[in-house]
Amino acid sequence: MTALRWGILATGGIAHAFASDLRTAGLDLVAVGSRSQAAADRFAAEFNIPRAHASYEALVADPEVDIIYVSTPHPMHHAGAKLALENGKHVLVEKAFTVNRAEAEDLQRIAAERGLLVMEAMWTRYLPHMVRIRELIDSGSLGEIRAITADHTQLLPSDAAHRLNNLALGGGALLDLGIYPVSFIWDILGAPISIKASARLGDTGADTEVATMMTHEHGAVSTSFSSSRAAGPNSATIIGTEARIDIDRVWYTPTSFRVVAPDSTVWEEYSSRVEGRGMQYQAFAAEGAVAAGDMTGTLLPLPIAESVAIMGTLDEIRAQIGVRYPSEEHANG
């Protein structure tokens, strides 16, 4: 077992995936909290978790828990993470980190005041193939990066009552799907200098398709597309002056890629070999940051300051496409 004892706050689908990978990796999963004892007990029985709590408050108060994974719907991320931080727990918050930059900044402030780690669960950044891609870019093998393109497109339920289409639950393609290519582009090219976004909105007002075109330092450009109503290639390409990287579907999960020269010669082929879904790598990173005393995550592929800034990018995209969540209206009175 590792040094940190994990608790899981909320028991939805993504929590099941994370718990499974924690168990596969042999990490110390000791507690779960739900809004009902029955749900907590079912989850605990499925993953052999010793303590099941009937409330989030009871989970964060558990003295045997060191770090909490928050897996509620998006508008509840801030409240769940704040509750955990205020009870002295490190926190891994499911992506998108919050619903807006203001909430992200608040979590950053609380964590800093208490000397705790708060980290966004953008698990893709921690996968082995992404680590290798960053190594290749840092080595200069691709030359100057000129462009990136990536999509995250799935055929998901169109039911108006479904979480994905409910603005009150942070529904829409952007926070569930678009966060992946936007975070990926940030990872490789850094902050955008300009952002242009367009979208199609569904009957509930939630975005069903979102496209972005951004410019970055030294003139690099990026494009992204996300959709909850159609399944596309789910691939990504990084284009440099000396070579490009073609990442196969599904690019944001453990997958393969090729480094291709301008004459189509393949310089390198990479194929992932990962147990489970691969969500354990972000847990390893969180534990490593705590062990190193790196509470701002400066040594992580996604430090807290960047997660906050990315939420600002998503805010600008939503401003351009005309999407606002009810929780934001309530926050402003």
Instruction: Please list, in sequence order, all residues whose beta carbon lies within 8 angstroms of the beta carbon of residue 45, skipping any fewer than 6 positions away.
Output: none
Q: Strand 67-70 to strand 90-94: parallel, antiparallel, or no bridges (unpaired)? A: parallel
Q: What is the pLDDT of residue 330?
A: 67
**CA distance linking residue 111 with residue 91, whole number of Å:** 9
CA dist., res. 69 & res. 90, Å (int): 9
- Mean pLDDT of the region 51-56: 98
State percent of the chain over pLDDT 70: 98
Give which of 207, 198, 208, 204 is closest to 154, Cα–Cα.
208
Asked if residues 92 and 121 have their Cβ atoms less than 8 Å apart, the reply is yes
Q: What is the CA radius of gyration of the chain?
A: 20
Distance CA 141, CA 94 (A): 33
d(CA 92, CA 298): 15
Q: Measured between alpha carbons, how far is residue 206 from residues 77, 121, 165, 203 in Å?
A: 19, 23, 6, 7
Q: How far apart are the first and last CA of the chain?
A: 47
For 176-214, the pLDDT digits (tens) are: 999 999 999 999 999 999 999 999 999 999 999 999 999
Chain mean pLDDT for the chain: 97
Residue type, 134: R
Query: 280-314, pLDDT tens digit by residue?
Result: 999 999 999 999 999 999 999 999 999 999 999 99
Position 331 scores a pLDDT of 66
Tokens of 14: 């993504």
Residue ranges of the alpha helices (H) in 61-203? Answer: 77-86, 101-114, 128-139, 173, 179-189
**pTM of structure:** 0.96
Residue 1 has pLDDT above 50, yes or no: no
Residue keyed to tokens 């090729």: 258
Q: CB of 314 within 8 A of CB of 179?
A: yes
Its sign, for the CA torsion 246, 247, 248, 250, is negative
Model confidence at 2: pLDDT above 70: no
pLDDT at 332 over 70: no
Per-residue pLDDT tens digits for 61-105 = 999 999 999 999 999 999 999 999 999 999 999 999 999 999 999
- Residue 250: exposed, middle, or buried by beta-carbon count in 10 A (0-12, 13-18, 19+)? middle
